[in-house]
Amino acid sequence: MTVLLRPGMALAALTMLAARPALAELQVRMPEVDYRELEFEHNGLVTFDAKGSSLNGAQSFTNSIGYGVLPWWEIELEGEMASGGGQHLTWNAVTMENTFQLTEPGEYFFNLGLFAEYSQSTLRGQPSGITAGPIIQKELNNVFGIDTLHTLNVLLDRDVGHNATSATGLQLAWQSVALFTPLFAPGFEYYGIVDNITHAGPTSQQQHLIGPVLTGAYNFSPYGKLKYEVGYLFGLTPASGRSAVRWKLEYEIAF
């Protein structure tokens, strides 16, 4: 029974704690690393709100390429684009993401991972950001005859560089899905974003969204695997907007 903790690597990532991302990205990160697999990933988010609101029609897209370098470390290079409602899309950041798998899936009560990213702003005068924190996952098999998967991300973020603020933000993400078949795993997810945890302000000024999600994967082995996620989120506070649609498409292949 070996704890697959890499204290040095985990500490290095934790020292990056503190920072705000260049872009709020709604996705739930998983703690497992796909060693020796090359992946291409696209994420999209469109928000809806009252007419005239900057959140109405706001869009955010990321495209990335990643690789499982070691059995416990995956690195990803990502480009981020975003726009407010009615505005043109702008290329606003290039991000390096790291996922560290800390435990063997299924060995302990929880599966644990650590996420750490550096996001370099490509916009003049805008700060870059660092985001890091734990990924906690629980597999619950045979819940009324169905296997289920529950994943929680607790990420802290902080600005760095030009015009950086001293605020530390919090990004929460939670996804629970029922694993009916590999291709069809529906569930729900929640996202919470607090810009400054030391001055969180009233709940109405924080972003909290919840809604159903459909996930799945199709294995074309040896030609790779296609994974998808599509979710509809309801804003729970005025700052969240009325609703949002998000999606994720990922292709991975052994390389």
Partner 1 sequence: MRLTLILLASLLAWPVAAADTPAASLTIRNRAFEPAELEVPAGQKIELHVRNADAAASEFESDELHREKVVPAGQEVVVFIGPLRAGRYEFFDDFNPVARGHIVAR
Least distance (Å) from partner 1 to the CB of residue 208?
20
Nearer to partner 1, 156 or 194 (CB): 156
Least distance (Å) from partner 1 to the CB of residue 85?
34
CB 231 within 8 A of CB 249: no
Nearer to partner 1, 107 or 203 (CB): 107
C-alpha 217/C-alpha 62 separation (Å) is: 20
Least distance (Å) from partner 1 to the CB of residue 182?
4
Least Cα distance to 57 among 91, 89, 84, 25 occurs for: 84
Nearer to partner 1, 81 or 135 (CB): 135
Least distance (Å) from partner 1 to the CB of residue 252?
10
Give the rounded distance of the alpha carbon of 192 from its chain centre.
12
CB 149 within 8 A of CB 176: yes
Nearer to partner 1, 9 or 136 (CB): 136
Least distance (Å) from partner 1 to the CB of residue 48?
33
HSE of 29 in the Cβ direction (CA atoms, 13 Å)?
28
The secondary structure of 212-246 as a DSSP string is: EEEEEEEE-TTS-EEEEEEEEEEESSGGG-SEEEE
Least distance (Å) from partner 1 to the CB of residue 135?
11
**Rounded alpha-carbon distances, angstroms, from residue 44 to 64, 72, 106, 188, 238:** 12, 27, 31, 17, 22
Nearer to partner 1, 104 or 250 (CB): 104
Q: Are strands 225-235 and 73-83 parallel, antiparallel or unpaired?
A: unpaired
Binding site for partner 1 (CB under 8 A): 1, 3, 5, 14, 17-18, 34-36, 71, 102-110, 112, 133-134, 136, 139, 141-142, 145, 147, 149, 154, 156, 179, 182, 217, 219, 221-222, 254
Residue 79 has which token pair?
A: 């480009």
Nearer to partner 1, 40 or 234 (CB): 40
Least distance (Å) from partner 1 to the CB of residue 46?
30
Nearer to partner 1, 161 or 182 (CB): 182
CB 166 within 8 A of CB 199: no
